[in-house]
């Protein structure tokens, strides 16, 4: 199964700043996903990132706030821009290995905004 | 309205006992249903995945059932261990929307000695 590494694992940031989260996979995958998980709640899909194309954002999420890069088949970044306390959350990336296998998740980035 | 509803929201069980978690969904068209375990501070890890034609699937002490007619699933944990303390998330995949998942809110299980 795919091994996913996310960096940083946690961070505390100042209001108005931006943070870029990295997601590295140990194998080539077509589809990568970025999720947000607010405290005590389930996961919410932010966007789908396919290599070679623009990310597809879900309702309520926009590229200006959450720009995503997908430069190759093993790496993606999510930037949380102009952060406010409401952005305090866990951000997770996942990959779809295909062949009917379930999505694999990274351990997430725990973000706190002061 | 969430298309995947889980119950109970949380439960506490004694080590060695069994428990059953419930999941009802309205996602349609249905592709498959997954149960994930999420330990505190970690990402979700897949326990089982079932398609329309599968009624039961086991993974060690975890047994999932699926009734696609009533759109219900359950996850049974046998002889619980302290390491079973986690959030268990029911996730349903829509057909014709490859990769897009609908998540339940999870059931928080606490196993006490």
Residues written for chain B? 113
Dihedral sign of CA atoms B22, B8, A44, B25 in order: positive
Q: Is B65 helix (H, G, I), strand (E, B) or coil?
A: strand
- Chain A residues touching residue B34 (CB < 8 angstroms): 102
Tell whether B97 lies on the interface with A, counting CB pairs under 8 A: no
**What is the rounded distance in angstroms from the CA atom of residue B49 to the CA atom of residue B94?**
13
pLDDT in tens, chain B (113 residues): 679 999 999 999 999 999 999 999 998 888 899 999 999 989 999 999 999 889 999 999 999 999 999 999 999 999 999 999 999 999 998 887 666 789 999 999 999 99
A9-53 tens-digit pLDDT: 999 999 999 999 999 999 999 889 999 999 878 899 999 998 888
DSSP state of B83: G
C-alpha distance from A14 to closest chain B C-alpha (Å):
22
Question: Which has the closest alpha carbon to A35: B23, B27, B38?
Answer: B38
Whether residues B41 and A107 touch (CB distance < 8 A) is answered with yes
Of A42, A45, A92, the CB nearest to B104: A42
């Amino acid at each position: 199964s795919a091994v996913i590494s996310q960096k940083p694992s946690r961070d505390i940031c100042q209001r108005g700043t931006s943070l870029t989260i990295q997601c590295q996979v140990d194998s080539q995958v077509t589809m990568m996903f970025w999720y947000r998980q607010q405290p005590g709640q389930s996961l919410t899909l932010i966007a789908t990132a396919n290599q070679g194309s623009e990310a597809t954002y879900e309702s309520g999420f926009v590229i200006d706030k959450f720009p995503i890069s997908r430069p190759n088949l093993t790496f993606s970044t999510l930037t949380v821009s102009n952060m406010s306390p409401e952005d305090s959350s866990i951000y997770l990336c996942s990959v779809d290995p295909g062949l009917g296998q379930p999505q694999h998740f990274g351990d997430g980035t725990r973000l706190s905004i002061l | 309205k969430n298309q995947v509803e889980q119950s109970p929201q949380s439960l506490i069980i004694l080590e060695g006992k069994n428990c059953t978690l419930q999941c009802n969904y309205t996602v349609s068209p249905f592709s498959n249903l997954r149960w994930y375990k999420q330990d505190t501070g970690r990402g979700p890890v897949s326990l089982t995945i079932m398609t329309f034609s599968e009624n039961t699937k086991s993974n060690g002490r975890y047994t999932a059932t699926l009734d696609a007619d009533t759109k219900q699933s359950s996850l049974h944990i046998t002889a619980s261990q302290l390491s079973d303390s986690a959030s268990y998330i029911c996730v349903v995949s829509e057909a014709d929307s490859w990769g897009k998942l609908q998540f339940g809110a999870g059931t928080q299980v606490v196993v006490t000695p």
